[in-house]
Structure 1
Amino acid sequence: MNALKVGDLLERRPTVEEAYLFTDIRDTSKLFRVASELRDEGHGNIISYSRKIFIPLTKLCRDVCHYCTFSRGPHKNQQSYMQPDEVMKLLREGEKNGCKEALFTLGDKPELRYTRARKELENLGHETTLSYLFETACRVLKETTLLPHINAGVMSAEDLKNLRKVSASQGLMLESVSPRLHKKGGPHYGSPDKNPDVRIKTIMEAGIEKIPFTSGLLI
């Protein structure tokens, strides 16, 4: 640490190059203390949270992450997508219980993998999951007091901008920046949307468009 000392962080923001140097620190106690001071200076002791109702629009996903407990394949005699009336019923329950946010969770582009997904979407009047999501989020804004937050996986800049029209915020877990997990034998093998470069690109596109965005790591 030649260019910048930990204590200097209280005086100025580090450059990108200087910030990378902090990854070499083994004794992180000083770094934690400075981070705590900056947090308290900026936010005090306020902890914010959002009362939300979860809307699992579909649990189908084209990825096959080996640790995932959310996604599942198609089941015989069982719908893979929540129907509009099911969504609205759940939203009403959320409103009654004081929720302010409708958190949409779903798998990445299942129609690219499953014939069942394509058929169900066709019955709903859509070609893609994101199209159905857009319509549903639009109803949330028009027919409820809730604000949609969308976790729809990896998306293009155009998809992000389109969904911004019907959402208060969006999100994508970065999960990991290790390409090793994406290789054969790793938990992300066979999951194209878990390529770190692809996920980082989506997060960067959201930043460019100034979309309120949440992210995180899996530890």
Structure 2
Amino acid sequence: MMGQEKSRVGQMEAGNRGRVTYSPAYTMVPTYECFNRCSYCNFRQELGSKGGLGLERAAEILDSLVDRGVVEILILSGEVHPQSVARKGWFDRIYKLCDLALSKGFLPHTNAGPLYFAEMAKLKSVNLSMGLMLEQLSPKLLQTVHRHAPSKQPVVRLRQLEWAGELEIPFTTGILLGLGETREEICETLEAIARLHQRWGHIQEAIVQPYSPGTRQTGDAPGFDLQELPAIIAIARDILPPSITIQIPPNLVTQPDLLLACIAAGARDLGGIGPRDEVNPDYPHPQIAQLQEILHPAGWQLRPRSPIYPQHYPWLTPRQQNALRQALLILADPV
């Protein structure tokens, strides 16, 4: 398997040399309510806040996005407790949002925290890819930033990545830096991602994300030292299999020289770029023209992509393949 992977990846790299990708995306949030209380979170709202998105409004938004170059619809949600009576209604809304987006020719990608195996299996039919950040595996974080976040238990998140492999779901995961982890713990988390991918071949991207302070966090963590980011990316590139693309968020790496240093160290994707970063609302996404002005003089070509990579096309249903064909036409002639 590894020999075949190296050959396939070598062919991919030959065609993508000098290329940095991003996904033209729009984020929809079924609910900001979350039973976890991570001290660094700038997304969460208290239970009972009643925010979020209904199907009628979602349909209006999707219709407004037609012919605007958007391909990916990221369904990003706060989490409902696995044993809550509200769980079924929450999951049904996520499924219906994905089904609606797919029916209108968009490519859904869901990140809604840990899910049951049956929930993942059902969402597979209406998502072209899915995601869950592994963050860090260090158990000591359960006594600090994750003290009130039951779903951040490492075993729970590792199981999610394992199930995604079993179900043949193209997957995005990653690490979050600046939580109190050591360099050794960073390597251990990356090695866990590598082992899962070597078994299942399903992980498309690993996000290397620096924690950045925001106005809604409850803790006082100062954030990750961005000057260390290129070195961590180089470590990730050395540990992870070559078919896993390293992704960085350009709205959190705003200094042009630092962004270029991260790309030189091995990052090749900038993630979903749209009107708003819901996870980090204090840090607006840059415009594509701004990124081109940084990348092109340094010899990098910025190119749009879909949320599923070509090696995983055979995992799609006919309905998903049809939506993908429409999206690829848009990507070949971006608006």
TM-score (norm 1): 0.69
* 2:99 matched residue in structure 1: 138
Question: Per residue, is there more strand in 1 or in 2?
Answer: 2
Deviations 1:152-172 (A, max 9, x none): 110122211110011111000
Cα offset, 1:198, TM superposition: 0.6
Q: 1:46 aligns with which of 9, 15, 19?
A: 19
For the Cα contact (< 8 Å) 1:105–1:151, is it kept in 2? Answer: yes
Where in structure 2 are the equivalents of 1:3-152 lying within 5 Å? 40=13, 43-74=16-47, 79-109=50-80, 118=86, 127-142=88-103, 144-152=104-112
CA RMSD, 1 decimal: 2.7
For the Cα contact (< 8 Å) 2:101–2:108, is it kept in 1? Answer: yes
For the Cα contact (< 8 Å) 1:53–1:91, is it kept in 2? Answer: no
Cα offset, 1:151, TM superposition: 0.4
* 1:156 matched residue in structure 2: 116
2:165 is the counterpart of 1:207: yes
Deviations 1:28-47 (A, max 9, x none): xxxxxxxxx99955842222
User: In 2, distance between residues paired with 1:72 and 1:40?
Assistant: 42
For the Cα contact (< 8 Å) 2:73–2:109, is it kept in 1? Answer: yes
For the Cα contact (< 8 Å) 1:111–1:129, is it kept in 2? Answer: no
Q: Which amino acid aligns with 2:161?
A: I
Q: 2:135 aligns with which of 149, 158, 175?
A: 175
User: In 1, distance between residues paired with 2:39 and 2:16?
Assistant: 38
Cα offset, 1:83, TM superposition: 1.4
TM-score (norm 2): 0.47
Structure 2 unmatched runs, 5+: 5-9, 178-335
Q: Which has the larger radius of gyration?
A: 1
For the Cα contact (< 8 Å) 2:28–2:76, is it kept in 1? Answer: yes
Deviations 1:3-39 (A, max 9, x none): xxxxxxxxx79xxxxxxxxxxxxxxxxxxxxxxx999
User: In 1, distance between residues paired with 2:70 and 2:20?
Assistant: 17
For the Cα contact (< 8 Å) 1:52–1:94, is it kept in 2? Answer: no
User: In 1, distance between residues paired with 2:169 and 2:39?
Assistant: 30
For the Cα contact (< 8 Å) 1:130–1:152, is it kept in 2? Answer: no
User: In 2, distance between residues paired with 1:196 and 1:38?
Assistant: 35
**Counterpart of 2:146 in 1: which secondary structure?**
coil
State the structure with bigger RCO (CA 8 A, min sep 6), 1 or 2. Answer: 2
* 1:17 matched residue in structure 2: none
In percent, how many aligned pairs have the same letter?
27
Tell me the matched-pair count.
171
Cα offset, 1:174, TM superposition: 0.6
Q: Which amino acid aligns with 1:59?
A: Y
User: In 1, distance between residues paired with 2:12 and 2:152?
Assistant: 31
Deviations 1:30-87 (A, max 9, x none): xxxxxxx999558422222210111011101110101000011146xx6333111111
2:159 is the counterpart of 1:198: no
Structure 1 unmatched runs, 5+: 1-11, 14-36, 119-125
